[in-house]
Each structure stands twice: as structure tokens, then as C-alpha cells.
Amino acid sequence: MPRTAASVAQEIPDVLIVGAGIMGTICAWELAGHGCKVTVLERSVPGAEASSAAAGILGAQAEAHAPGPMTELCLASRARYAKFAATLVKETRIDVGYRECGVLQVAFTRQTVSELTRKALWQKKRGLPSEPLTPRALAKYEPTLSPKLSGGLRFTADARVEPKALLRALHIAALQRGVIFRRGSFVRRVVVEGERARGVALDDGSILRAHNVVVAAGSWTSLIDGLGLPTGRVIPARGQIVELELPAPPLSHVVFGPGAYLVPRDDGRVLIGSTLEFVGYEREVTAGAVRDLLVQATAILPGLAQAALRATWSNFRPYTKDELPLIGRTEIARLFLATGHYRNGILLAPISAEIIRAAVLGERAPLAAAWLEAFRPERAV
Ligand SMILES: Cc1cc2nc3c(=O)[nH]c(=O)nc-3n(C[C@H](O)[C@H](O)[C@H](O)COP(=O)(O)OP(=O)(O)OC[C@H]3O[C@@H](n4cnc5c(N)ncnc54)[C@H](O)[C@@H]3O)c2cc1C
């Protein structure tokens, strides 16, 4: 019998994925690339939540505060980005804005600059290069920055990407690999029978069966029943962003300054981020946050005062108490999680997808088991 669209939709997929943010979509793309039939269930529009709202900083070193599993995870993912971005461009012809631009961390006082330099010592021991910057060196790299800055640090290997373009490309590439996306599918619970995940139940009462279930529902993960996780394991941490535009890009690097970071785009837009607020699922952009971000940003880059104000938005980082993601198999057989990536979900997408693919297919994990233990969904917190 020929495989019609209707019969394909009725087949039991190898993998059902809940959520079409970056995590759900990249896991779908990765698994479909390894021969799996994958269906992604999305309650609204693929990519519409945190993943498209992100600034797109790939700050494996700028965001690293201590040696350990999280730093190793971030470095492993950053190392995969150039190939990942190139593959997406090849598959879709969409420029995902991947730029190996480097990240600067800057400060107004000499004391803070020395603290930054001291903090970077452990990275040096780990073999991760960074360049200490005097005010003169800083001005050479970025002449538009405030002359009041006392210097900083340059992380050459950190990069950036444009999340909206990345999500569009990833969605198209996943479709081309045969992934089915079902919009408007609101998952209520994972169906568990005999201590094994068998599928999911939607809010209209229907049951969708699958051989494996991957939950990648971002900040809404803990609202889904049947995961076997304590209440509030993943909660929303709101971040607000202001987008400005100048006639030409004022920066070549991403700049982390006191109170704000600045992310340049090639077309002259500059993103200013971001707040960190625990306000539940309140989506408002607030006057106070916009004011504070603009004050901090114009102190770092005075020329931004002349920029056009283009947009503001907010969304929710999936936060966990220990600030580590939940990635991999759970204690319920055939149920996997890819969630809780908090501030670094865009950066961590390629390695997370590989971990999930290896777990679902029973392959060797791409990271040492001792590191992966830190991200085990049921770990004690
Ligand atoms: C302001 C801001 C700036 C950021 N900047 C960066 C950055 O520079 N670099 C970086 O690496 N990271 C950044 N992040 C973090 C990053 O955006 C997140 O870690 C990442 O996007 C999380 O991806 P996700 O797929 O888990 O979640 P999401 O993108 O939120 O996707 C989850 C999806 O699941 C769907 N869903 C939820 N519940 C259900 C259900 N019951 N049934 C069906 N579908 C459901 C949702 O509709 C949504 O589409 C930033 C985040 C914010 C908010």
C-alpha cells in the first residue's frame, strides 16, 4: 500500500518530542538524521518562545565561572557550532548569523578589571586562552566604547549566532529530514504504562503513542504530568531585551559590561540584554527594565544614545535551582529530558542533541559519564 500523508501521520513514531523550541527542534533534526521517524508536538508556534527571544551569545568562556561539568558541556557545544551552522546553511541556504566575533568583558574600575583577570586564571590552567586588555588595547579593538572604561578581558573563541534565523533554518532542515511538526498540540501528561513511557496525552483527551518520548518544553516542563520530577524543578526566569539600530554596526565583538551586554548584528542592530527576574509567566516588558538597560548600555557605548529604538521583548529562561540543565534518560524507561538550559540553551543545543540521540539509540555518549551525571534529570538538588 502506498504511504500517504494520512498513513504516515498515523504511524507510531520512533520518537515523540514535546516542544519545538531550539531543544525540541534540534533533537528532532539530529534523530531524523540518524534514521528515526520523529514527530514534534508544539502547543503554539515552533520557535516562538525563549529560543527566538535569546540574544544568541555563544559565551562558553565568558559565561564560565568555575571548572567542572557545565564548563565542559559549554566548551563541547561551542566546539561543534561552526560545523552545525555550516550544515544548516548547506541544508537550507539560510545564514544563521554564526560569527566567530569574540566576547569582551569590560569594567569601569581597575579593581574590577583585576578581579576579572584573576578569575580567568583557572581558565588559563584549563588551556582556555583569554587576552587581558588595557584601556588602550580595548580602544583599539572597539573604538566606540566609552573612554571611561578601565580595560577588560577578551575571549577570542566565543561567538554569536542569530537565534531567529537559526530557529527558522533548523525548523526547515528538520522538515526536510522528514520530521512532522504538529502545532496546536498541548501535551498534558506523559503516558506511562508498566514503568515505561508509551506516549503522551493531549489536552483534548487524545493519546498519541510512541516508542520514545523526549520532553523539551523549556520553562513549562514542570507543568507536564508524569515526568516523575518534583514540583517546580524547572521554573521561568524572565529576561527582557531592547533592540536598537544604528546605520552601521558600532561593534565587532559581543560586549559584556556592568549591568548590560551588547550584541551587534551585521545590519547595524544592537541587542541590549538582559534582566533576570522571577515573576512567574508574566510576559510584560517593564519601563524600569528598559530604562536601566538603556542607562547601562549608553554608559558602555555612548553612541547608542543616537540609535533608533526598534523593539523590546521578554521571554523565559528555563531555570533550575543548581543552574544545570536536565539532559538524558530518566528513571522511567524510554522517557528523556532536554530542558532547563537556563541562560545558555542556544549555546548548548548541539551537544544536548547529541546526548539525547545517543541515549535514545543506545549509543556511546559524546561526553564522559562522570560529566553527564551532573545533568541527570533525577539528581539530588
Ligand atoms: C532574554 C533571553 C536572552 C537569552 N540569551 C541567550 C544567549 O545569548 N545565549 C544562549 O545560549 N541562551 C540564551 N538564552 C537562553 C535560551 O534562550 C534558552 O535556554 C533556550 O532557548 C531554551 O530552549 P528550549 O527549547 O528549552 O525552550 P523554548 O524555546 O522556550 O521552547 C519550549 C517550547 O515548548 C513548548 N511547550 C511548552 N509546554 C508545552 C506543552 N505542554 N505541549 C506542547 N508544547 C509545549 C513551548 O510553546 C515552546 O515552543 C536567553 C534567554 C532569554 C529569555
- Round to whole Å and give the CA distance between 251 and 229: 44
User: Is residue 380 scored above 90 in pLDDT?
Assistant: no
Cβ-based neighbours of 269, under 8 Å, separated by 6 or more: 243, 244, 245, 310
pLDDT for 1 beyond 50? no
Predicted pLDDT of residue 87: 98
Give the distance (Å) from ligand 1 centre to CA of residue 90: 25
Residue of 17, 22, 200, 276 to mutate, ligand 1, most atoms within 8 A of C-beta: 22
Q: What does the pLDDT read at residue 7?
A: 55
**Which SS3 state, helix, strand or coil, does residue 268 take?**
coil
Give the nearest ligand 1 atom to 221 CA: 38
* Residue pLDDT, tens place only, 25-43: 999 999 999 999 999 999 9
CB-based pocket (< 6 A), ligand 1:
18-24, 41-44, 48-51, 53-57, 185-187, 216-220, 224, 239, 241, 273-274, 315-318, 339, 341-347
| Angle of the 163-176 helix axis to the 22-32 helix axis, nearest 10 | 30
pLDDT averaged over the chain?
Answer: 96
Q: What is the mean pLDDT of residues 243-261?
A: 98
What distance in Å separates the CA atoms of residue 83 and residue 91, rounded to the nearest whole number?
Answer: 12
Nearest to residue 195, comparing CAs of 344, 51, 334? Answer: 334
**What pLDDT, on a 0 to 100 scale, did the predictor assign at position 123?**
95
49 alpha carbon – ligand 1 mean position (Å): 5
Instruction: Decide if 77 contacts 98 (C-beta within 8 A).
Output: no
Q: Out of 2-6, 86-90, 135-139, 344-348, which region has the weakest mean confidence (pLDDT)?
A: 2-6
pLDDT digits (tens, 9 = 90+) for 36-76: 999 999 999 999 999 999 999 999 999 999 999 999 999 99
Q: Which domains does the chain have, with CATH numbers?
A: 5-58+164-234+322-375 (3.50.50.60), 100-158+235-319 (3.30.9.10)
- The pLDDT, as a whole number, for residue 9 is 54
Quick: pLDDT tens for 333-376. 999 999 999 999 999 999 999 999 999 999 999 999 999 999 99
Please give the C-alpha separations between residue 168 and each of 93, 275, 322, in angstroms, as whole numbers: 11, 25, 31
Q: pLDDT digit string (tens) for 226-235?
A: 999 999 999 9
Cell 541544508 belongs to which residue?
A: 91
pLDDT of residue 325: 98
Closest ligand 1 atom, residue 188 Cα: 41
CA of 302 to the centre of ligand 1 (A): 31
For residue 15, give the 3-state DSSP assignment. Answer: strand
- Say what the pLDDT of residue 11 is: 84
**Its pTM surpasses 0.85:** yes
- Cα of 313 vs centre of ligand 1, distance in Å, is 14
